[in-house]
Amino acid sequence: MFKSLALPFLVSLAFMAPVQAGVTLIASGALAGSSDLSGLSGTLENGVAANILGGMGSGLAWAGGNTFLALPDRGPNASSYLGGSAVDNTTSYIDRFQTVSLNLTQSINAGVYSYALNAALNQTTLLYSPGALNYGSTAGLPSAQPVQNTAERNYFTGRSDNFGSGNSLAVNNARFDPEGIRVANDGKSVFISDEYGPYVRQFDRSSGALIKTFDLPASLAVANSSSTGAAEISGNTVGRVANKGMEGLAITPDGKTLVGFMQSALLQDGGDGAKANRIVTVDIATGTTKQFAYNNVIGGKTYGSSEILALNSHQFLVLERDGKGLGDGSLAKVKQIWVVDLAGAEDVSGLSGEAALLAKAPSKKLFLDIRSALNSVGITDDAIPAKLEGMAFGEDITENGTLFHTLYVANDNDFSELAGGNQFFVFKFSDADLSALSLGAFENQAVSSVSEPGTYAMLLGALGLMAGFTRRKKNGI
């Protein structure tokens, strides 16, 4: 896809000076509430409600208009519980995505902002496989198989012992740690990447049913899976670092190619803290994959990459950050968005090692210093969310005859209000801003509108979950 483009490409280890585009913060908002619309009842292994609302900024996707899909990760595991250390305190939290409305309106009463942002939760969609999945049975813990399962619905969950034989890419593993989400151009399905496999899976947007699991390169997998991340890292020399798999996911504007981003370097490339991450492209129609190197050094230090977003067919925004700020009890230092151009970049699928990848890594340019932008409206470093992870474009806006594009950034609050709730920040930028950085023209994805299931359909889904729970209770499970 990228080699056919005529724009020049320069391989360089020396990045340009950090001059950023004229990107402006125009709004912020939050989604309140402690419960989602899943219809789930009861509690998880750690005592947290099964329908807890949170973590929903791990991924963010635009679905047309003011509709967005917000993605929680594998569930609440920040606090320990009895026996939980054997599974890194993960739980049988059923994976899901939230459909939300983010209504942006120009307002003279929005304080330091020029727009007001109102957020509303419309729907919760649980993710499942129509076929059987592998679930864990760790001693001292209840079965990892959700009580809501039926013969036709086998739910994916965040519990780390939900795996069987084979490497970490085995398609029947129930463990799934969602981190990136994008909507298909027809609006009918979603693509979700995760950290356990890493997996890239396609789900029906309306029902949450698994449609397809893409075949990813074996070099991304670990051969020896474990229910604890430390054991997985020490027990392997090849593959993704535990809990730092495919953190980000983009889709090209034509809807034909998925572009996944590894959060940190693979074990064979130096592991966590090494300087070269990998970008993995997947042709949706054929399944063909390619890999490209990315230099993750900023100011002499390495940072994990949280999200990737297509600016056009060959240039991508990459969100890089530290783990500092609100929720960590510290001061945020690095929250930045960089742009990388893959036009002419070399496929590094056959290479390994930090030096080999760095020699092929394209240059990058600073697009937005989020920390500085938030500081400018009075948000201090201790109040900036530690985990800014979701990123999506939204609808264009017009001001005084000038067209602006909108960029939404969301946080993963680890299911804790102490980490700032579910927050959203909105920025605007123009084509002139892109020209100032010598970037190509902006191309937003054209997503077809689809009708979201109504309240009646959601009620039926909730009743189905309750019926499944009742059947399992009668069977003594």
Contact 77, 92 (CB under 8 A): no
Instruction: Please state, in angstroms and rounded to a whole number, the distance separating the CA atoms of residues 390 and 382.
Output: 20
Cβ-contact 265, 241 below 8 angstroms: yes
Closest CA to 61 of 87, 22, 110, 99: 99
> What is the per-residue pLDDT for 449?
86
Give the integer Cα–Cα distance in Å for 282 and 68.
23
Give the start-end residues of each E strand in 268-382.
Answer: 276-283, 289-295, 297-298, 301-302, 304-310, 315-321, 335-341, 364-369
Residues contacting 418, CB < 8 A, separation 6+: 327
Question: Residues in the chain, how many?
Answer: 477
pLDDT value, residue 109:
83
Residue 282 sits at the vertex; the CA angle it makes with 280 and 285, to the nearest 5 degrees, is 175
| Amino acid symbol at 220 | L
Closest alpha carbon to 410 in 61, 99, 20: 61
- Do 310 and 342 contact (CB within 8 A), yes or no? no
Q: How far apart are CA 195 and CA 177, in angstroms?
A: 5
In angstroms, what is the C-alpha Rg of the chain? 21
What is the C-alpha to C-alpha distance for residues 316 and 295, in angstroms, rounded to an integer?
14
The tens place of each residue's pLDDT in the chain, 477 residues long, gives 554 333 332 333 333 334 455 899 999 999 999 999 999 999 999 999 999 999 999 999 999 999 999 999 999 998 999 999 999 999 999 999 999 999 999 998 888 999 999 999 999 999 999 999 999 999 999 999 999 999 999 999 999 999 999 999 999 999 999 999 999 999 999 999 999 999 999 999 999 999 999 999 999 999 999 999 999 999 999 999 999 999 999 999 999 999 999 999 999 999 999 999 999 999 999 999 999 999 999 999 999 899 999 999 999 999 999 999 999 999 999 999 999 999 999 999 999 999 999 999 999 999 999 999 999 999 999 999 999 999 999 999 999 999 999 999 999 999 988 777 899 999 999 999 999 999 999 999 999 988 765 443 444 444 444 444 333 333 333
User: Residue 95 has what DSSP assignment?
Assistant: P
* 231/308 Cα distance (integer angstroms): 29
Q: What is the model's pLDDT at position 351?
A: 98
Report pTM: 0.91
Structure tokens of 282? 């997947």
CA atoms of 233 and 114, how far apart (whole Å): 47
Cα 433 to Cα 353: distance, rounded to the nearest angstrom: 36
CA distance 165 to 93: 22
By the 8 A CB rule, do 247 and 306 touch? yes
pLDDT at 420: 77
SS3 466: helix
Instruction: For residues 285 and 393, give the distance between their C-alpha atoms in angstroms, rounded to a whole number.
Output: 24
What span, in angstroms and rounded, lies between the C-alpha atoms of 430 and 22? 8
On whether the CB atoms of residues 349 and 291 are closer than 8 A, the answer is yes
In the chain, where the domains are located: 24-474
**Which amino acid is located at 60 in the chain?**
L
Please give the span between the terminal C-alpha atoms of the chain, in angstroms, as a whole number. 50
**Per-residue pLDDT, 417:** 80
